[in-house]
Chains A and B, each alone.
Chain A
Amino acid sequence: DAGVIQSPRHEVTEMGQEVTLRCKPISGHDYLFWYRQTMMRGLELLIYFNNNVPIDDSGMPEDRFSAKMPNASFSTLKIQPSEPRDSAVYFCASSFSAGSTYEQYFGPGTRLTVT
């Protein structure tokens, strides 16, 4: 399996622009998670989906952030408008609920820089 795929790997954008991050989970996995990692705040869970349905978005920092999962093989995290404080590495992870431990598999991350 190719693992969790994220694109782009690096994104540099100017403040005020819209940013869209993409994730393809491992085939067959029914949970998908979006995390943000910064030096100051560590690893934060933003939102997670089960069977394409958002279950908990309490970690989304504000209305500028939105996430969708239109089908089992694709999810997006959108920031509109972007701000410099959104600069971070964003990770997508997926897991399979039928296993006993729900192991999460992480993608390589998208490094976002907002200038």
Chain B
Amino acid sequence: GNSVTQMEGPVTLSEEAFLTINCTYTATGYPSLFWYVQYPGEGLQLLLKATKADDKGSNKGFEATYRKETTSFHLEKGSVQVSDSAVYFCAEGTYKYIFGTGTRLKVLA
């Protein structure tokens, strides 16, 4: 079956550091790709999405580009804040998603 692989966490960064969380998928064709964020004690929230090759999803300073040639959708942010501390999930699919295992991010002041 299809799978989504994320980099192992936790990732610990200082405030204003550059963030990259890697994500690769195995599905063939052109699935939609997503990043979700989960803050402590809450449900998952859609952070950004991309639906076709070379699309760039962006929201709240986060970006990710749909790379068909490398089957990747890496999450980036130029300057993280303490409030970005959360668990980030990569997912692919249409009506049914395949989620990655999640990457915990901790940002220190």
Binding site for B on A (CB under 8 A): 4, 31, 33, 42-43, 45, 48, 50, 56, 91, 93, 95, 97, 100-109
Contact = CB atoms under 8 A, between A and B. Distances in A.
Interface residues of B, number: 19
Given A101-B34, A102-B93, A106-B44, 17 more contacts: A4-B43, A43-B44, A43-B89, A43-B101, A45-B97, A91-B43, A95-B95, A100-B51, A101-B49, A101-B51, A101-B94, A104-B46, A106-B36, A106-B45, A107-B43, A108-B42, A108-B43
Contact of A104 (B42, B51, B97): B97
Contacts, number: 48
Main secondary structure of the interface of A (DSSP, over half): strand
Interface string B46-87: 100101000000000000000000000000000000000000
